[in-house]
Structure 1
């Protein structure tokens, strides 16, 4: 369950950024999570909820935007949203071309895990 370590890193980064900007409250955090990270957004949110108790992040709205896998196929040249092979024989999802089923693809997006924005309140 890598959601706990990722949630911990994100909460720490959000709190650190807020502290550096003299925040008294964090009102919103927007996260971008690529489908290939294999992070479950509900589990990530739950872990973040536990970790942010008793912090200035506790009442913030956490928005998790899932980023689809976008690829460019090395075989047929397809460029666009990929399908994934979540076969239990693999330890992780494998991006494949929806046109030719090739797995030799260049991943354009879908691996990211970012804190996109943070909204804070400061003292007047």
Structure 2
């Protein structure tokens, strides 16, 4: 379960932002996770909530937005969405390197048949915003 390690990294970053801004507590954290990261949003939220206990992040609202991903052919430039069902294949969850995903799915470009297929978006996890309670300020954005 890589949700735990991602949650730890997110929490460390959020705590660092809160500390630098002099925040008493964190009100909300908005994350964007790519569907190709194979992160489970519910598990990630659970890990964040558990790890946040006893910190200024405890009680914060975690908003998680899913970024859709595409495949792109390196030969002809065609861009397409995968079948959503193909992303539910349990064997994909063994991919530790996202570049392995195109190999595991045995992808071919639907336009030209090339196997030179790359991920185009949906492969990252980012903190989009952090809402803080800073003494003397009205709900600062971080």
If the TM-score is normalised by the length of the shorter chain, which range does it land in? 0.7 to 0.9
Number of equivalent positions: 124
Alignment check: 8 A CA contact 1:83 1:97 kept: no
Task: After superposition, give the CA deviation of every residue in 1:28-60 in whole Å (9 maximum; x if it has no partner).
Answer: 100111111111111111111100011111121
Question: Where in structure 2 are the equivalents of 1:24-39 lying within 5 Å?
Answer: 24-39=24-39
Provide TM-score, normalisation by structure 2. Answer: 0.74
TM-score, normalised with respect to structure 1: 0.84
Distance 2:22 2:5 in 1: 26
Q: Give the superposition deviation at 1:88.
A: 4.8
Higher helix share goes to which structure?
2
How far apart are residue 6 of structure 1 and its match?
Answer: 0.9
Q: Structure 2 CA distance, aligned partners of 1:122 and 1:36?
A: 35
Q: Which residue does the alignment assign to 2:139?
A: none
Q: Mark the runs of 5 or more structure 1 residues left unpaired by the alignment.
A: none
Q: Look up the match of 2:119.
A: 107
- 1:47-86 alignment runs, 5 A limit: 47-83=47-83, 85-86=86-87
Query: How far apart are residue 81 of structure 1 and its match?
Result: 2.9
Greater strand share, structure number: 1
Unpaired runs of 5+ residues, structure 2, are 96-100, 137-142
Work out the CA distance in 1 between the residues paired with 2:9 and 2:125.
11
State the Cα RMSD in Å.
Answer: 2.4
Q: Distance in 1 between matches of 2:108 and 2:69?
A: 11
